Structure 1
Amino acid sequence: MTLVHWAFIYQAAGADPGRDSRTVRHEGCRVDLVAVGSHDQAVGEARRLARDGAQLIELCGGFGPVWTARVIEAVDGRVAVGAVGYGAESIERVHAIFS
């Protein structure tokens, strides 16, 4: 199987997925960059992406394992879900950004 449609979901303060998301197409591959204003919006957006044919969804590292699990549950095995992770050398800086 060839990857032709994937998505990256990230959170930004005040973001509205209907207004602040973008789609990039390049040589037969579609990438949806989906901005959400809160973690819980990611669950609904993941369901929508799965319905729209996304094969893979990646989550920004700010979602953490709890919200990653909720997205995995929401797509019910129809889509591969991954999450960005940070090494120990970055933990303090990442914590400062998301706290």
Structure 2
Amino acid sequence: MLWFSVWTVLVLATLVGAFFLGRRLWRSAKALMAQAGATSQVLGELSAKIAELEAAAGSARIFQPDLVATEEQRETWRSRRAENIATRRGRVHERRSRTLAGWRSIGMPF
């Protein structure tokens, strides 16, 4: 009689645990599906915005290398690239200066 009650308690405890686990999984699955729906809606809006921006940008910003480009075109590209590199170097220098100033403001000996 003792073993019957022990096994009954064990089986009932397992069933209760399975119920709570199943309920938690169900709630998690519902939350996941709700988030997936919201994500797909945001992705749809994002793709529409990307298409709108690409249409507004036109083909003026697209760079296509040309093997038979004139020297004048190549010089224009080189100067634009040099400007981009100089701008990038300036941004990096500015960012590093701000970081260094931040470290110095808290007393680091850099």
Task: Tell whether the structures are fold-level matches, with TM greater than 0.5.
Answer: no
* Structure whose residues are more often helix by fraction: 2
Indicate the structure (1 or 2) with the bigger Cα radius of gyration: 2
Higher relative contact order (CA 8 A, sep 6+): 1
Give the TM-score taking structure 2 as reference length. 0.18
* Structure whose residues are more often strand by fraction: 1
